[in-house]
Amino acid sequence: MSGQSSDIDIVTVAGPLLLSYLANSGLQGVLCVQVYTYYIAFPNDRTILKIIVYATLLFETLQTLILTRDAFDTFVTHLGDIDAIDNVRLTWLAVPVSGGLVAFIGHMFFAYRLRVLSHSWIPSILVVFTAVCAVVSALALGVAATMANKLRNLTHNPAFVFISLWNGSSLVCDVLVAGFMTYYLARQRAITNSRVHRQITRLIRATVETGIISATITVVSLILYTKFRNNVYYPVTSVISSKSYSNTILVILNNRMNIIGGRNEIHMEDQDVTSNWSAHRVGLPWRLRKKEKKGGVGAPGRTGDGVTVLTEVWSDRHNLNTLEVSSIQFKRSTIVSEI
């Protein structure tokens, strides 16, 4: 152990670092649960969505492993070495590089959805432009961080410029995504039937809520960078920033699920999918898949403006007499379209 340096306040350096490591591990656990839920609930999703989900999980897992290695090095290998606590280590790879790429994936995910919803390139181009500015700034910050050597140096030029551009661009992109998604989803809601109307309402709520969370984290990061440049408070929000984007993607995708008896259950009175029907085996998960064939704008099997509704039911049947749907039942109304 080396002596303490008079110019380093251990509380303002080690404290935020410890909180960032703990928060990252906790949010990684949340992400794993979300991915598992997606894996179980949506096995027939389009390949591109699966690639987005599992690529995001891969990046986030690598980030968590890197930060865990840094945490061990900081608080175990160099325990008591105050100068070593301030080292950048592999933070340049875990936060600006990996985090910037995850945020870029999330923004591209929403840019594509906006293109389909709006039938226009303008909203998507605006989102893509700000997302590219953000990811380029993040990668440049990664390079600057390797040269800064110390965490305190990241709040000064040139790293400070890249930090400001990264967070500023991300904030603008988050606001654009939340605003455009809410507007175009509201337009879709106005031309759909009541059941899809409720589904889209729930999607709007999830979009606004996750957008507010991501934007708030970015704003707090900017404040910590600009107003507390002589302290190292920023790792907390910087580390969890990418986790907010990855969890946002999964929240939006998993929001299509409908759990019978849950608080957000979407009732489907116009479909009788729980009537008695015979089967040869019991005690196994049963699956009934029914595609709605109601008239609407577009081809048969589509309702509203380019929206197809797919209803799936899973149940464990243990009643040998009636084979009715038991209480262990999950039901979802999936809007199978490009939104």
Q: What is the pLDDT of residue 88?
A: 83
Q: Which CATH number fits domain 10-254: 3.90.930, 1.10.3470, 1.20.1070, 1.10.260?
A: 1.20.1070
Residue 195 pLDDT: 63
pLDDT reported for residue 154: 79
What pTM was computed for the model? 0.72
What pLDDT is recorded for position 282? 32
State the pLDDT at residue 263.
63
In angstroms, the CA 220 to CA 226 distance is 10
Please report the pLDDT score of residue 148 as a whole number: 81
| Cα separation, 19 vs 259, whole angstroms | 34
CA 151/CA 163 separation, integer angstroms: 13
Tokens read off for 193: 């039937």
User: Chunked in runs of 10, what are the mean pLDDT values of the chain (339 residues)?
Assistant: 56 85 94 95 91 94 93 86 81 89 92 87 94 94 85 78 90 91 80 66 81 89 81 84 91 82 56 34 36 40 37 38 34 39
pLDDT at 292: 40
Task: Give residue 267's pLDDT.
Answer: 54
- Look up tokens 């700000």; give the residue: 130
Tell which residue, 13, 8, 12, has the closest CA to residue 91: 13
Judge if the upstream peptide bond of residue 158 is cis by omega within 30 degrees of 0. yes
Give the separation between CA 75 and CA 281, rounded to whole angstroms: 56
Write the pLDDT tens digit of every residue in 166-205. Answer: 999 999 999 999 899 888 888 876 666 566 667 777 778 8
Query: Where exactly does CATH 1.20.1070 map onto the chain?
Result: 10-254
Side chain identity at residue 23, one-letter code? A
